[in-house]
């Protein structure tokens, strides 16, 4: 039986009717048309489905939509401000941290959650924060540099 | 996922009443393991009772000098809690050795205790598994068992317990607090999880009408001398082949107390307190560590592909004890 849920998505109140076995990822993508969060492994491994739930990055493929009732969700679509990209998004473009783009929404949201808590993170903290997001293109170095750049800290170093 | 009904419990009494009313109902909190298993059709609950709004979170000091971890405290809450980092760094390091930030943000203390094995046959509903369907046989004993148990196995099951956090909790001698229809009780950590025996389908001694409310950490946290060593096939995205939580009390170079818990080698976090006493009064030398490692693995039994774990576990024990014996642990 469907249940009515009300939640805040990207600052806007949203209401939906969902079967209990729908995931938050499926609700966002299919009911709200917010396709920024990607369906990757579906098992909580790859991080492509990462959204920020009540301030914390989570795998939306492992969250039931009914469990998000009354809570606040931020997806990649909510990051730009009146068409102006978020500084982390800009840094990803500038640094060449985006290639195929499949991991980018989740990666950027993991970075956002980190910078919200720790505005000047170390490289180690950055690597820990994105350790739940798999990228098959970049080798991660450009992503780390982008997050360092967005934080206004020193450029990352190449790792041998 | 199968279809199921969903209710949200606002208090523990309601949660217990709901779960007692339906034998195929389950509690859901972080859901990081349960949803995964439901997607694979391994778990097919008729009803999910959402307990995330119960007031079972938080980390609080106890009058005996220890700490109480609420059952709904997340792995992130625990791993980065200032008092845990300062007084129980072994626990913090064990938690951070597993999963990912996203999973740790959802996964709870209670759920970590109840997570199920990652045995590939348990997950594969096309193959026989005594843990999934009692009596049908174990595919792992003669199968792909690289990740499987070498201690405490039975003819029915050689699955290993996947948790890192529980290995540290076993070494710290934490106590599990549960409440149920007959009231509250406390379960020493060593008595919480079960060996497979003839009933590998039953992972723990938690009863069907009980709920975990918290985990108590004793006052002693072994902050000065500890190590958590996790050996796995990759540096991330892999469960432990062998992990070791080592905790020592030392007087100079003499060990006055030793705790060793092993992960990835048994159906539960593995402790052998009698063997640990071999180290009491001994100096922290490689030879003494090797002796205790040999003794701890004396009854180990491999099943082909996982035979290497016996030697690996011994080496990991020696390394973890060596790290723990330094004042600043390097785990």
Residues in A touching B100 (Cβ below 8 Å):
44-45, 47, 131-132
- CATH number, span A87-152: 1.10.150.120
**B261-301 per-position pLDDT tens digit:** 999 999 999 999 999 999 999 999 999 999 999 999 999 99
Which of B36, B76, B101 is the closest to A62 by Cβ? B36
DSSP conformation class of B285: -
Euclidean distance between the first and the last CA atom of chain B, given in angstroms as a whole number: 39
Rounded to 5 degrees, φ, ψ at B248 are -125, 150
Distance from CA of B155 to the nearest CA of A (A): 31
Is residue B247 helix, strand or coil? strand
Residues in A touching B48 (Cβ below 8 Å):
20, 64
- Chain-chain contact of B28 with A66 (C-beta, under 8 angstroms): no
**A84-119 per-position pLDDT tens digit:** 999 999 999 999 999 999 999 999 999 999 999 999
What's the 3-state SS for A34-100? Answer: CCCCCCCCCCCCCCCCEEEECCEEEEHHHCEHHHHCCCEEECHHHCCECCECCHHHHHHHHHCCCCC
Tokens 């780390």 belong to residue: A144
Chain B interface, best mutation among A23, A52, A58, by max B CB count within 10 A: A58
- Ranges of each domain in chain A: 3-78, 87-152
Residue A90: predicted pLDDT: 96
Chain A interface, best mutation among B28, B102, B235, by max A CB count within 10 A: B102
For the entire predicted model, the pTM comes to 0.96
On whether ipTM exceeds 0.90, the answer is yes
**B181-205 per-position pLDDT tens digit:** 889 999 999 999 999 999 999 999 9
Burial of B291 (0-12, 13-18, 19+ CB in 10 A): middle
Residue B29: predicted pLDDT: 98
Query: Is residue A126 less than 8 Å (CB to CB) from chain B?
Result: no
- Chain-chain contact of A50 with B105 (C-beta, under 8 angstroms): no
- Are A129 and A146 contacting, i.e. CB atoms less than 8 angstroms apart? no
User: Domain A3-78's class?
Assistant: alpha beta
Lowest mean per-residue pLDDT among B183-192, B232-241, B299-308: B232-241
What does the alpha-carbon distance between residue B329 and residue B331 come to, in Å, rounded to a whole number?
6
Domains and CATH numbers, chain B: 5-53 (3.30.43.10), 226-329 (3.30.390.50)
- Chain-chain contact of B102 with A47 (C-beta, under 8 angstroms): yes
What does the alpha-carbon distance between residue B148 and residue B60 come to, in Å, rounded to a whole number?
36
């Amino acid at each position: 039986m469907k249940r009515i849920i009300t939640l805040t998505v990207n600052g806007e109140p949203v209401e939906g009717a969902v079967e209990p076995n729908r995931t938050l990822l499926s609700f966002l993508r299919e009911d709200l048309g917010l396709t920024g969060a990607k369906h990757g492994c579906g098992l909580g491994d790859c991080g492509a489905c990462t959204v920020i739930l009540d301030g914390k990055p989570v795998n939306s493929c492992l969250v039931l939509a009914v469990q998000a009732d009354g809570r606040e969700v931020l997806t990649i679509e909510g990051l730009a401000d009146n068409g102006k990209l978020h500084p982390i998004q800009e840094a990803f473009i500038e640094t060449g941290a985006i290639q195929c783009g499949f991991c980018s929404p989740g990666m950027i949201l993991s970075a956002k959650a980190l910078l919200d808590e720790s505005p000047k993170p170390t490289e180690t903290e950055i690597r820990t924060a994105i350790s739940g997001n798999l990228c098959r293109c970049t080798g991660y170095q450009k992503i780390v540099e982008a997050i360092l750049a967005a934080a206004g800290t020193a450029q990352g170093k190449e790792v041998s | 996922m199968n279809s199921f009904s969903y209710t949200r419990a606002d208090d523990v009494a309601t949660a217990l009443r709901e779960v007692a009313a339906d034998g195929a109902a389950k509690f859901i909190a972080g859901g990081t393991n349960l949803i995964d298993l439901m997607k694979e059709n391994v778990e097919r609950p008729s009803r999910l009772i959402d307990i995330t709004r119960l007031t079972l979170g938080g980390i609080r000091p106890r009058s005996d000098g220890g700490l109480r971890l609420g059952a709904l405290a997340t792995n992130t809450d625990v791993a980065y809690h200032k008092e845990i980092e300062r007084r129980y760094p072994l626990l913090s390091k064990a938690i951070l050795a597993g999963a990912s930030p996203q999973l740790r943000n959802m996964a709870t203390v209670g759920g970590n205790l109840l997570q199920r094995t990652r045995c590939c046959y348990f997950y594969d509903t096309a193959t026989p598994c005594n843990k999934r369907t009692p009596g049908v046989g174990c595919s792992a004993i003669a199968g792909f068992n690289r990740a499987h148990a070498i201690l405490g196995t039975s003819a029915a099951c050689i699955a290993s317990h996947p948790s890192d956090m529980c290995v540290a909790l076993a070494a710290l001698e934490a106590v599990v607090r549960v409440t149920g229809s007959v009231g509250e009780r406390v379960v020493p950590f060593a008595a919480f999880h079960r060996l497979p025996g003839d009933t590998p389908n039953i992972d723990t001694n938690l009863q069907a009408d009980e709920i975990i409310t918290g985990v108590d950490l004793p006052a002693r946290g072994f902050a000065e001398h500890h190590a958590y060593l996790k050996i796995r096939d990759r540096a991330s995205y892999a469960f432990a082949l062998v992990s070791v939580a080592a905790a020592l009390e030392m007087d100079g170079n003499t060990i006055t107390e030793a705790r060793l818990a092993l992960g990835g080698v048994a159906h539960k976090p593995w402790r052998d307190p009698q063997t640990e006493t071999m180290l009491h009064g001994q100096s922290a030398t490689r030879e003494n560590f090797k002796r205790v490692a040999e003794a701890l693995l004396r009854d180990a039994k491999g099943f082909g592909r996982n035979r290497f774990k016996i030697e690996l576990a011994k080496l990991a024990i020696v390394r973890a004890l060596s790290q723990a014996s330094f004042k600043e642990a390097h785990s």
